[in-house]
């Protein structure tokens, strides 16, 4: 099982210029905006107030979780903790930062091969546009008694297994990422902390379980924890739903440049 904290994630600072401005990409698993094998998790931060990432789509399913600052995704106001899910080829955005900037996680089962600007690349969308929805996570301070774990379904489950859950853990309560028919669950610590092998996993720590791992429980710290659980949909004939279908090794990530 992979467990990565905010401090352990590698931070890449850059200035994209134009409307996007200063950006930090913190790589938790794989590398953001690159075609690395396996799952991809990174935390992207738009640092400048009012900075704008153009509307676009990717060719893989993904969750995004706003954890820093605030702003909007398209017309939707977002702030910690807002979850957006988008099917492959479902456009979203633009992402506009508020006065304190905005920071959001990206969770993918495999790396996207590009970020395709809309409406210029709408012709690349194969067929009907898929699902896109938002979920707000509230009451992060509500913690059950010691040793007690409470599970909440906050969206779904859909027929293909897509689901968003929340686990509230009292101090010392245990939880383990599972492997389901849809693949391994992706976990994000929203508040409090977890403890694994003596190491503290505070808010904004990420846990991913490899499909072949044994169930390895982690326990909540002394203040308990609230943990977001993201379950991807089953791989079907829907374009982009199968993480095993990807470009040949050596292919490059393609991204339309924001010149606004």
Walk along the chain (260 residues) and give the pLDDT tens digit of each residue: 889 999 999 999 999 888 999 999 999 999 988 888 889 999 999 999 999 999 999 999 999 999 999 999 999 999 999 999 999 999 999 999 999 999 999 999 999 988 999 999 999 999 899 999 999 998 999 999 999 999 999 999 999 999 999 999 999 999 887 777 677 789 999 999 999 888 999 999 999 876 656 567 889 999 999 999 999 999 999 999 988 876 654 556 666 543 33
CATH 2.60.120.10 fits 140-231, yes or no: yes
**Residue 149's pLDDT is what?**
95
Q: What is the pTM of this model?
A: 0.93
Measure the CA–CA gap between 67 and 70, rounded to whole angstroms. 8
**Residue 225's pLDDT is what?**
97
Prior bond of 33 cis (ω within 30°): no
Domain 2-135: assigned CATH number = 2.60.120.10
Measure the CA–CA gap between 35 and 162, rounded to whole angstroms. 24
Residue 124 has φ and ψ, to the nearest 5°, of: -85, -5
Show Cβ contacts of residue 180 under 8 Å, excluding neighbours closer than 6 positions: 161, 231
Asked if 200 and 133 touch (Cβ cutoff 8 Å), the reply is: no
C-alpha torsion angle, residues 207, 210, 211, 215 (rounded to 10): -60
Selection from 136, 176, 132, 184 nearest residue 158 by Cα? 132
Start-end of CATH 2.60.120.10 domains in the chain: 2-135, 140-231
Q: Are strands 114-117 and 254-255 parallel, antiparallel or unpaired?
A: parallel
């Amino acid at each position: 099982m992979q467990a990565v904290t905010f401090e352990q994630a590698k931070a890449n600072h850059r200035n994209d210029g134009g409307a996007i401005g200063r950006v930090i990409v913190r790589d938790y698993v794989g590398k953001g905006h690159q075609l690395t094998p396996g799952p991809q998790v990174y935390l992207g931060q738009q640092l400048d107030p009012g900075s704008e990432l153009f509307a676009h789509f990717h060719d893989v399913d993904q969750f995004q979780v706003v954890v820093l600052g605030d702003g909007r995704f398209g017309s939707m106001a977002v702030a910690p903790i807002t979850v957006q899910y988008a099917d492959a080829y479902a456009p979203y955005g633009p992402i506009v930062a508020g006065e304190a900037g905005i920071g959001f996680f990206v969770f993918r089962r495999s790396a996207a091969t590009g970020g395709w600007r809309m409406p210029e690349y709408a012709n690349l969308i194969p067929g009907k546009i898929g699902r896109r929805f938002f979920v707000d996570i509230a009451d992060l301070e509500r913690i059950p008694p010691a040793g007690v774990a409470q599970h909440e379904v906050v969206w779904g489950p859909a027929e293909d297994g897509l689901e968003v859950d929340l686990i509230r853990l009292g101090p010392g309560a245990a939880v383990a990422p599972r492997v389901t028919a849809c693949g391994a669950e992706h976990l994000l610590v929203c508040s409090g902390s977890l403890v694994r092998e003596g190491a503290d996993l505070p808010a904004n720590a990420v846990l991913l379980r490899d499909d072949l791992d044994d169930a390895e429980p982690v326990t909540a710290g002394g203040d308990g924890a609230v943990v977001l659980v993201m379950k991807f949909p089953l791989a079907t004939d829907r374009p982009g739903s199968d993480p095993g279908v990807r470009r040949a090794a050596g292919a490059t990530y393609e991204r339309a440049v924001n010149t606004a």
